[in-house]
Amino acid sequence: MSAEKIIAEWKKGVFKPVYWLEGEESFFIDQVVNYAEHKILNESEAGFNLSVFYGKDAEWSAVVNACMRYPMFAERQVVLLKEAQQMRDIEKLEAYIDHPLASTVFVVSYKEKKVDGRSKLAKLLKQKGELLTTKKMYESQLPEWASNMIQQHGLAISQKALFLLVDHIGNDLGRMQNEVEKLAVNLGARKNITEDDIENYIGVSKEFNVFELQSAIAQKDLSKAIRIIQYFEANPKAAPIQLILPALYNFFSKVFMIHGLPAPDEKTVASALGVNPYFVKDYLSTARKYDSAGVEKVLLLLHHYNLRSIGVHDGGTSDAGLMKEMVVKIMA
């Protein structure tokens, strides 16, 4: 069950006695925990019936004792165990999970780790409660997720603005949501997010960014690439070389895959590369500009200049100097 479905059930008044939230993506875990802490009980009920523990400081016995209490002046109580991955003797919760109290909603936040699926604890969680295992979102899923989240805020966004937002923030979903909420405040009555809004309120230049540099290299537009690099040189925080090179390597790695496909139509390419169909044309266009040997050369150059950027076989060339030298060799 997803975080959205858990919360949707709670809104309907459907509760299980135990919820174990684990895995790599803390955004969804925090989303469920935050709802449990602030929404399941009203303000007057929470004073008597909300208990919050932190794994580093909590004793398992204290947590179990809290879970075993009956609610006061309410239908149920909520017990939260945050940062449970830091708790000693956490396996001793098994006895309670095996016989939970129906009037207690016990929510466990177990970030960055997962329970061994073969363990007794995992089997108990599946039998007696709800086990939510989260994963980091794939790059190809980000545009759709961000677009849906923006719609939930009652907003719309242009495709270019969406790409700038996703490319700048990556899969930090919490930050993505914070930035969208900031945009909503700054837009006022307006509902459509434009490239100018991304530039003005988030600080990503719509003309000088990694996406535009990637596009310039893909289209072999040397003068545009040099202008963008010069902007990065004057604004070092806009796009550090440590972010630029991996992004370019990721892009050209996908272009390289296209040359191995038997039928490189848009649908096949989108599926094989695991990218949003909206961006497939960029990959296909680049594949027409760079043949297989040309893409291989680009990848080797990116690897070479990545090593030089960290001081391997380089006497201190500036990042901008390395980038200019690299793009000239790429387009030669």
**34-56, pLDDT tens digit by residue?**
999 999 999 999 999 999 999 99
State the distance between the two ends of the chain, measured CA to CA, in whole angstroms.
52
Query: Which whole number is the average pLDDT over 235-247?
Result: 89
- How far apart (Å, rounded) are the C-alpha atoms in residues 156 and 192? 5
Tens-digit pLDDT profile for residues 115-168: 887 888 888 988 889 999 999 988 778 888 999 999 999 999 998 899 889 888
Instruction: Check pLDDT > 80 for residue 217.
Output: yes
Greater confidence, 275 or 72? 72
Domain 210-331 grouped into CATH 1.10.3720.10: no
Task: Give percent of the chain above pLDDT 90.
Answer: 74
- How far apart (Å, rounded) are the C-alpha atoms in residues 86 and 324? 47
Q: Given this model, what pLDDT does residue 25 score?
A: 93
- How far apart (Å, rounded) are the C-alpha atoms in residues 229 and 209? 9
Query: Which whole number is the average pLDDT over 294-299?
Result: 97
Query: Which whole number is the average pLDDT over 247-262?
Result: 93
Q: Looking at the DSSP assignment, which residues form a beta bridge with residue 104?
A: 77
Per-residue confidence band for 22, with pLDDT thresholds at 50, 70 and 90 = very high
- How far apart (Å, rounded) are the C-alpha atoms in residues 292 and 281? 17
Tens-digit pLDDT profile for residues 65-104: 999 999 999 999 999 999 999 999 898 999 999 999 999 9
Q: Which CATH class is domain 3-134?
A: alpha beta
Q: Looking at the DSSP assignment, which residues form a beta bridge with residue 156?
A: 192
Q: Which residue has the tokens 């100097």?
A: 321
Instruction: Check pLDDT > 80 for residue 2.
Output: yes
10 Å Cβ neighbour count for 63?
24
Instruction: Check pLDDT > 80 for residue 276.
Output: no
Contact by Cβ (8 Å): 184, 153 = yes
Q: Looking at the DSSP assignment, which residues form a beta bridge with residue 107?
A: 19, 80
Per-residue confidence band for 279, with pLDDT thresholds at 50, 70 and 90 = confident
Q: Which of 26-30, 45-49, 196-200, 312-316 has the lowest mean pLDDT?
A: 312-316
Q: Which of 9-23, 35-49, 253-267 has the lowest mean pLDDT?
A: 253-267
Tens-digit pLDDT profile for residues 218-228: 999 999 999 99
Number of H helices and E strands in the chain, helices first, is 17, 7
Q: pTM score, two decimals?
A: 0.75
Instruction: Check pLDDT > 80 for residue 317.
Output: yes
- Give the CA count within 13 Å in the CB-facing half-sphere of 41: 25
Query: Which whole number is the average pLDDT over 281-304?
Result: 95
Instruction: Check pLDDT > 90 for residue 61.
Output: yes
Task: Give percent of the chain above pLDDT 70.
Answer: 100
- How far apart (Å, rounded) are the C-alpha atoms in residues 258 and 254? 7
- How far apart (Å, rounded) are the C-alpha atoms in residues 46 and 39? 9
Q: Where are the domains of the chain?
A: 3-134, 139-202, 210-331
10 Å Cβ neighbour count for 152?
10
Query: Which whole number is the average pLDDT over 275-288?
Result: 86
Instruction: Check pLDDT > 80 for residue 278.
Output: no
Query: Which whole number is the average pLDDT over 266-290?
Result: 86
Fold for domain 139-202? Helicase, Ruva Protein; domain 3 (1.10.8)
User: At 263, which amino acid appears?
Assistant: A
Beta strands in the chain (DSSP E): 18-23, 50-54, 77-82, 104-111, 130-134, 156-157, 192-193
How are strands ordered across the β-sheet holding 130-134? 50-54, 77-82, 104-111, 18-23, 130-134
Mean pLDDT, rounded, of the chain: 92
- How far apart (Å, rounded) are the C-alpha atoms in residues 107 and 104? 9
- 149: phi > 0 → left, psi -120 to 50 → alpha, else beta; which? alpha
